Amino acid sequence: MSVEIRDPEAVLDLWQKGFWGKGSLSRSEPTWLNRELRRLGDTEVGATSEEITRQRRDQRKEMKKERARKEKEELQKVKLAEVQGESTSEPTSSRKTVVADVKVVVDLEEEIKGLEGASLPLEPPDGLPTPPLSTTDGIEVQGSNLISAEAEITPALLPQPSSDEEAVGLAEVPKAVNFDLALTAKEVQPPKKVTIDNQEHLQLTFSEAFFLAYSLGVLSVTTGSSHEILSIRDLLRTFLRFCSFPPLPESSVSLSNLNPDSSFLVTYVAYHHFRSLGWVVKSGVKFSVDFLLYKRGPVFSHAEFAVLVIPSYTRWQNRDDPNHGWDWLHSVTRVNSQVKKTVVLVYVDVPTPAEVKGWDKQADGFREVLSKYRVREVALRRWIPGKNRDI
Amino acid sequence: METDGIAGGLDDVDVDLSDETQDFRFLAAITKKGGSIPKRGEKDFEPDGTNLQSSTLDESRNAMLQALSVERSHTGKSRVTATWHPSRSLAKVHEQRGVLFKSMGRADKTGTIWLLPEELIYMVERGSLECFYDPTGDAGINVPMSVQAVYAAALPATGGLERYQVYANLRRTGYIVYRDPDQQSNELFKTVTYQYRPTAAVDPRGIWGIKLWNLGMFGALFTSVFRTGWSRDHDPLRPLLRPGAYKNFREIYTRLLVPRHPPPPPPPLQERPTAEGKDPHFNTTFHVWKPRPNFKKSSPGPPDFYISVVSTKDTKVPSLAQVESLFNEIPEEVPKRPVGAFQALKEGRKNVILAVVDYGVISYMKFSDSRFAEHPLDVDPPGPGKGGKGKGKGAPHKSGNSKAGAKPSGGK
């Protein structure tokens, strides 16, 4: 469940000024329209970041292919030398000289062929454009649970360049590529303009939407069923209800008897904590964590930290802290060390309901509620004895 | 885009060579010529059908068997003997010889060297010491002990098999390891010359203090102006960021910060570490020093690492209370050289290494007290004088500037 932004201007603003949300049909930045235009042969749209990524991957694949070929050649040489060596019966001395270069060839070429086959459907042959879908019915989620947003946005919050500039910066990288055939062929084509409807919208998580609505006061949200703008009070109530699955019954969520242990509140406290310290916080579901922390934003550098939110109940009576096994932690740190991220355990110490009682009677009461949560970060790193000696 | 990192190779620090299949040919090289340990090569997984590969494997296998088949013996010159005293849970060394004693054992007032049980097992196991059993405590009977007997007699006194496994692993890697003084059962080992507890000046509560950016006088002025002229004065959900003119992003971020209240006071510092009051599982087990030639066991200086040994059999990922009790036990590290913000966050001000033992397999994990709130990121683009550090980064900075200029107007 998410908050949807459909106004193109708002989508652009939200992405460019703080990297809020995610395109519903894209990995991150909403680029579906541009990708689609380029696929249909539009000549006015620049390369999208997805294309650049794919190009880089192709280069890498090519490089691996070349390496596999060389290894195979080397292996053939060794075999040939051994056969000749047997006939001349002088094995050991000549053998030693090749040792360093020999690696076992796992049939990389086969593997790469398999990869190529798999990636083919992504790039349909030119000249056969699939007709654009005429309605948006296919993607729109029906029902009263849907929350959509008409965004009213004040300008920039974070100093970020537009994504186009970034794309240009990246596009300069593959200049040294050796297979430009496809690109040069396209340049010859006459200019063409394609018009299609944008079927993509921007999705905001509950935490993002609440930060924009409550902390910054720049977002108004409506529900799918009516055009009336939800008050922040109603928005909070809605998020408290829908943060669990199945959604809580309306009667069980009360703002005056706020339950600080709501998963929305715990997540939001962690989100707010890092966002207010200047980090760009994105979902970390791809790396089995709760959040990824970017410095400045995802288009500039890879995420530095991967955050695991762990609720704690030191102030609660008879309430055990959640227990994760070591295997769980090991797998998370393994995955994240592969992608060079530091895992951070973020303990969110949840206040008791009694501590937050009466918050809705005073000015800035919710700020007071947030301040009752304690946040403590513990960075994890693998420590290897052999690498930490000075001598 | 993140997936790009996968192909980028591993962080050097996170690669553990001992995870790899080993090529034992280096053993042959050592025994034959006394040469240095060579670097291990690439992994070989699958037979590629060459004689070269199969003979390489053969050589490696033979080298390993040969190394294992060497008869282990004490040479007359360096023979060290000791007697196990079950009543004291210590072993009395008859005469100390060899370099190992530079970093093991401790002498009492009479100059007799006593070994801790883990030190005893370690030395017997590696063939550096022969142990005798003395049930009465007076060196009357001398029953020689086998390795098994030493294990049976001394292991319970080490605090459990996991602790000994970690101890032996660290010793073999070259580190100097002593038990945390609070874990010592014998008075002889309890006194140390270095500071290993947080000093009273460093109140652990300090880190929770409301040490946020000061709004300053101007900030207060602004806030009061908006308070009076703001219609939603009693709204508990009033946006944190009031409409108004902000000169830079830092001002905005300052208003978004939520002050954190100090937690309920932690147990007072004075009456802390009695062994009973601690968490039975998460406490400092070992103090560890990096290998160094001039190590003095009488005055070692503060340890380089604090290790807590935990077993997967009876522990899970520590809770907040357990992590905090671990951090409360150790002093803060002062960084020797200025480090970048990322590095500071990764290294933290306090570090505990958890040695997680899973039925004999040890994985070390460093838990660092990060304190993100002390390292806020730069949110404002660098001024015109400082801009344009590199060609690649110049462009984003400039565009950031132009946007900042266009920025804030009123909210709703």
Q: How many domains does chain B have?
A: 4
Are B187 and B283 contained in the same domain? yes
Note the pLDDT of residue A319: 84
Both structure tokens of B280: 């039975």
Tell me the pLDDT tens digit for each residue of B95-115: 888 888 888 988 888 888 999
| Residue A246 C-alpha, separation from nearest chain B C-alpha, in angstroms | 26
Q: Which residue has the tokens 């073999």?
A: B172
Which bin fits B316, alpha (ψ -120 to 50), beta or left (φ > 0)? beta
CA distances from B395 to A137, B206, B299 (A): 41, 41, 55
Write the single-letter amino acid at B237. Answer: L
Mean pLDDT of B361-383: 87
Tell me the pLDDT tens digit for each residue of B210-254: 333 333 344 444 444 444 444 556 788 888 888 888 888 888 998
Are B205 and B321 contained in the same domain? yes
Tell me the pLDDT tens digit for each residue of A326-376: 999 999 999 999 999 999 999 999 999 999 998 988 888 999 999 999 999
Both structure tokens of B80: 């060290």
Domain of residue B91: give its range: 81-158
Mean pLDDT of B283-301: 89
Tell me the pLDDT tens digit for each residue of A140-155: 334 444 444 444 444 4
Among the partner-chain residues A286, A361, A390, the one whose CB lies closest to the CB of B2 is: A286
Name the A residues in 241-270 with CB < 8 Å from any B CB: none
Candidate list A214, A273, A341, A373, residue with the active-site label: A341
Q: Which residue has the tokens 């403590």?
A: A376
Per the prediction, chain B carries an average pLDDT of 74
Half-sphere exposure of B393 (CA within 13 A, CB side): 10
Which residues from B are below 8 Å from A371, CB to CB? 258-261
- CB spacing of B2 vs A302 below 8 angstroms: yes
Among the partner-chain residues B175, B323, B358, the one whose CB lies closest to the CB of A378 is: B323
Which residues from A are below 8 Å from B346, CB to CB? 342, 379, 381
- CB spacing of A339 vs B236 below 8 angstroms: no
- B394: confidence class by pLDDT, cuts 50, 70, 90: very low
Residue B33 and residue B367: Cα distance in Å, rounded? 43
Residue A96 and residue A3: Cα distance in Å, rounded? 66
Closest chain B residue to A160, measured at CA:
B400
Mean pLDDT of B335-351: 81
Residue B6 and residue A116: Cα distance in Å, rounded? 19
The answer to whether residue B362 scores a pLDDT higher than 90 is: yes
Are B193 and B330 contained in the same domain? yes
Q: Is A96 a catalytic residue?
A: no
Edge to edge, what strands does the sheet with A202-204 contain? A22-23, A202-204, A3-5, A147-150, A220-223
Contact of B292 with chain A, judged by CB distance below 8 Å, is answered with yes
CATH of residue B104: 3.40.1170.20
- CB spacing of A214 vs B392 below 8 angstroms: no
Are B105 and B183 contained in the same domain? no
The answer to whether residue A211 scores a pLDDT higher than 80 is: yes
Closest chain B residue to A315, measured at CA:
B264
Are B193 and B282 contained in the same domain? yes
Q: Which residue has the tokens 């206040």?
A: A351
Note the pLDDT of residue B139: 56
Strand, coil or helix: B128: coil
Strand, coil or helix: B29: helix
Are B323 and B369 contained in the same domain? yes
Q: Residue B265 domain-assigned?
A: no
Q: Residue B24 domain-assigned?
A: no
Write the single-letter amino acid at B96. Answer: Q
Mean pLDDT of B157-180: 93
Q: What is the CATH number of domain A254-387?
A: 3.40.1350.10
Both structure tokens of A69: 């070929």
Contact of B11 with chain A, judged by CB distance below 8 Å, is answered with yes
Write the single-letter amino acid at A194. Answer: V
Note the pLDDT of residue B378: 85
Residue B285 and residue B326: Cα distance in Å, rounded? 10
> How many secondary structure helices (H) and strands (E) does chain A include?
13, 10
**What's the first-to-final CA gap in chain A, in angstroms?**
54
Residue A376 and residue B369: Cα distance in Å, rounded? 8
Of the residues A74, A89, A381, the best mutation for testing chain B's interface (the one with the most B CB atoms within 10 Å of its CB) is A381
- A208: confidence class by pLDDT, cuts 50, 70, 90: very high
ipTM for the whole predicted complex goes beyond 0.85: no
Are B251 and B283 contained in the same domain? no
Are B180 and B311 contained in the same domain? yes
> pTM here?
0.74
Are B363 and B279 contained in the same domain? yes
Write the single-letter amino acid at A367. Answer: R
Contact of B411 with chain A, judged by CB distance below 8 Å, is answered with yes
| Residue B320 C-alpha, separation from nearest chain A C-alpha, in angstroms | 6
Q: What is the DSSP string of A242-272?
A: HTSSSPPPGGG--STT--TT-HHHHHHHHHH
Give the residue from B256, B289, B321 where a domain finishes: B256
Of the candidates B56, B13, B37, B112, the residue with the CA atom closest to the CA atom of residue B366: B13
Assess contact for B362 and B169: CB atoms under 8 A. Answer: yes
Note the pLDDT of residue A177: 44
Mean pLDDT of A206-228: 92
Note the pLDDT of residue B399: 35
Residue B346 and residue B363: Cα distance in Å, rounded? 19
Strand, coil or helix: A306: strand
Candidate list A295, A302, A324, A330, residue with the active-site label: A302
Contact of A167 with chain B, judged by CB distance below 8 Å, is answered with no
Are B150 and B92 contained in the same domain? yes
Q: What is the dihedral of CA B46, B51, B53, B55, to 10 degrees?
A: 130
Which residues from A are below 8 Å from B236, CB to CB? 359-366
The answer to whether residue B179 scores a pLDDT higher than 80 is: yes
- B52: confidence class by pLDDT, cuts 50, 70, 90: confident
Q: Is A341 a catalytic residue?
A: yes
Residue B83 contacts by C-beta under 8 Å, 6 or more apart in sequence? B91, B92, B94, B131, B132, B133, B134, B139, B142
Tell me the pLDDT tens digit for each residue of A72-120: 898 889 888 888 877 765 444 444 444 433 343 444 445 455 555 444 4
Q: Residue B54 domain-assigned?
A: no
Per the prediction, chain A carries an average pLDDT of 79
Contact of B247 with chain A, judged by CB distance below 8 Å, is answered with no
Q: Is A271 a catalytic residue?
A: no
CA distances from A364 to A239, A243, A368, B227, B242 (A): 19, 23, 7, 11, 12
Among the partner-chain residues A56, A155, A386, the one whose CB lies closest to the CB of B407 is: A155
- CB spacing of B238 vs A325 below 8 angstroms: no
Q: Residue-wise over A84-122: b if at least 16 C-beta within 10 A, else e?
A: ebeeeeeeeeebeebeeebbebeeeeeeeeeeeeeeeee
Least confident of A224-238, B148-162, B225-239: B225-239
Write the single-letter amino acid at B113. Answer: I
The answer to whether residue B350 scores a pLDDT higher than 80 is: yes
| Residue A189 C-alpha, separation from nearest chain B C-alpha, in angstroms | 30
Contact of B52 with chain A, judged by CB distance below 8 Å, is answered with yes
- The full set of domain ranges for chain A reads 50-122, 254-387
- CB spacing of B52 vs A292 below 8 angstroms: no
Mean pLDDT of B330-338: 78
Mean pLDDT of A291-304: 92
- A132: confidence class by pLDDT, cuts 50, 70, 90: very low
Least confident of A110-114, B51-55, B401-405: B401-405
Note the pLDDT of residue B281: 85
Q: Residue B32 domain-assigned?
A: no
Are B315 and B356 contained in the same domain? yes
- CB spacing of A217 vs B409 below 8 angstroms: no
Residue A299 and residue A50: Cα distance in Å, rounded? 12
Are B136 and B199 contained in the same domain? no
Q: Which residues share a beta bridge with A379? A: A344, B368
Residue A58 and residue B140: Cα distance in Å, rounded? 79
The answer to whether residue B155 scores a pLDDT higher than 90 is: yes
The answer to whether residue B50 scores a pLDDT higher than 70 is: yes
- CB spacing of B412 vs A278 below 8 angstroms: no
Among the partner-chain residues B15, B249, B320, the one whose CB lies closest to the CB of A314 is: B320
Q: What is the dihedral of CA A136, A140, A143, A144, to 10 degrees?
A: -100
Assess contact for A228 and A222: CB atoms under 8 A. Answer: yes
Contact of A390 with chain B, judged by CB distance below 8 Å, is answered with yes
Note the pLDDT of residue B88: 86
Give the residue from B93, B127, B158 where a domain finishes: B158
Residue B259 and residue B209: Cα distance in Å, rounded? 9
Of the candidates B349, B297, B352, B303, the residue with the CA atom closest to the CA atom of residue B196: B303
Contact of A237 with chain B, judged by CB distance below 8 Å, is answered with no
Note the pLDDT of residue A150: 47
Better-scored residue on pLDDT, B132 or B35: B132
Q: Residue B89 domain-assigned?
A: yes
